[in-house]
Amino acid sequence: MMPATEVEVAIIGGGISGLYAAKQLQRRGVTDLVIIEAQPELGGRVLSTSSIRSNAASPTAVSCSLPSYDLGGAWHWPAHQAKIKQIFEELGVQTFADSHDGDLLVEQSSYRPPTRWSAKEPESVFWRVQGGMTHVVNTLKKDVEDAKVLLSTAATAITTLDGVDKVRVDCSTGTTITASHVLLAIPARIAAAKISFEPALPSSVRSTWESTPTWMAAHAKYVCVYSTPFWRDEGILGQVLSTAGPLSEIHDVTDLNGTHGGLFGFFALDAQARAKQSDEELKRACRGQMVRLFGPKAAEPLADYIKDWSRDPFIATEADARVDGGRGPGPSYTIEGSSLEGKVRLIVSEASPEFTGYLAGAFMAAERGVEDICKARR
């Protein structure tokens, strides 16, 4: 792309909301667009183990041939989230329900063996995408030409241009993009902290953006991979609740083919406590917990991975890393009371009127932004 370019729509952020917005805009005839993504890869809070190196005991060559496991958003709940079910069907991605066939483990102390509880069918069944959520990212990306995607490019400023009804987006690479519409597909807190707006954001908008926690940004996932899901042979589900830690909640993330066994856990330690240990120390503690829970076969995973979202500079702010804010009240979707109103819209998942913070919310927020741009063009 030229250092100075003009497009109809600039989409800032290449996670699910940004990518789905691009797909929907193109479907509706708006093809003059660009996606600006700060990271070298698309996906945002959707990331798979194949994107990061396992610096576990295993050689990288082994981890390259393993299935992909989600390090970010993974589950959806089609019984309640009709929209995401419909979108996955349209995209032709295969989905499947998590199994509930087996006992769950409850660990109350690292000195006592866990107790087994027979798992009940949950009120809402958790579903996953075969190949992980990055399969959805890759499927969405297929519809967007490479030339329309700027990777490793962070938007740094958005400025109203006088007299032309357009805005200018300045980027970290020196590129400037002039656009009639901007879709901000980035966390509200990141937008408030990292992008300078001219004119300045009205204080009411700034305060809703700053006080909107980015869902799950405070968390970290640990994923470990084995040659088989051996725990299933003993009637164990792979689901664990632990007050002993370091992982508080563990789930079986083996894929539909079951060619390897995958487990993932959320840390009980908060971001500050995690920051005091190296990833290798944390992994050692996690492997120790896996042995306590699943026996000696769990001692040496083929690969294991940690993704700490609180350290991702384009997802979490200091406020997110300090406290897990859960899901807050929705941030302002438009920049009311400013000349940026009607030109800049927030379409990250947290801005969705429904399923705020969830994957389903990312699709729905994108749809609203696209609908409003299409209305404005008529």
Ligand X SMILES: Cc1cc2nc3c(=O)[nH]c(=O)nc-3n(C[C@H](O)[C@H](O)[C@H](O)COP(=O)(O)OP(=O)(O)OC[C@H]3O[C@@H](n4cnc5c(N)ncnc54)[C@H](O)[C@@H]3O)c2cc1C
Quote the tokens at residue 304.
Answer: 């294991």
Q: Mind giving me the DSSP string for 304-337?
A: EEEEEGGG-TTT--HHHHHS---S-SPPPSB-TT
Which helix (H) or strand (E) element contains residue 35? strand 33-36
**Cα 233 to chain center, whole Å?**
32
Pick the closest to residue 45 from 263, 309, 269 (CA basis).
309
213 neighbors 328 (Cβ within 8 angstroms) = yes
Q: How far is the CB of 16 from ligand X (least distance, A)?
A: 4
Q: At what angle do helices 82-91 and 359-377 cross, to 10 degrees?
A: 80
Q: Kindly tell me which residue out of 30, 149, 179, 190 binds ligand X, with binding defined by CB under 6 A.
A: 190
Q: How far is the CB of 378 from ligand X (least distance, A)?
A: 26
Quote the tokens at residue 196.
Answer: 């300078």
Q: How far is the CB of 74 from ligand X (least distance, A)?
A: 4
Q: Which is nearer to ligand X, 250 or 292 (CB)?
A: 250
Q: Which of residues 316-375 bind ligand X (CB under 6 A)?
A: 348-349, 357-362
Q: How far is the CB of 24 from ligand X (least distance, A)?
A: 13
Pick the closest to residue 367 from 4, 12, 17 (CA basis).
17
Q: Which is nearer to ligand X, 226 or 355 (CB)?
A: 355
Cross-strand partners of 236: 103
Q: Which of residues 107-166 bind ligand X (CB under 6 A)?
A: 154-155
Binding of residue 74 to ligand X (CB under 6 A): yes
Please provide the size of the chain in residues.
378
Q: Which is nearer to ligand X, 295 or 328 (CB)?
A: 328
Q: Which is nearer to ligand X, 9 or 195 (CB)?
A: 195
Site string for ligand X, 199-228 (x = CB under 6 A): ----------------xx--x-x-------
**Looking at this protein, which amino acid is placed at residue 19?**
L
Interstrand relation of 196-198 and 155-161 (parallel, antiparallel or unpaired) = parallel
Q: Which of residues 3-62 bind ligand X (CB under 6 A)?
A: 12-18, 36-39, 44-46
Q: Which is nearer to ligand X, 143 or 300 (CB)?
A: 143
Q: How far is the CB of 120 from ligand X (least distance, A)?
A: 20
**Looking at this protein, which amino acid is placed at residue 282?**
L
Please report, as ranges, the residues that interact with ligand X according to CB under 6 A. 12-18, 36-39, 44-46, 72-76, 154-155, 185-187, 190, 194-195, 215-216, 219, 221, 309, 314-315, 348-349, 357-362
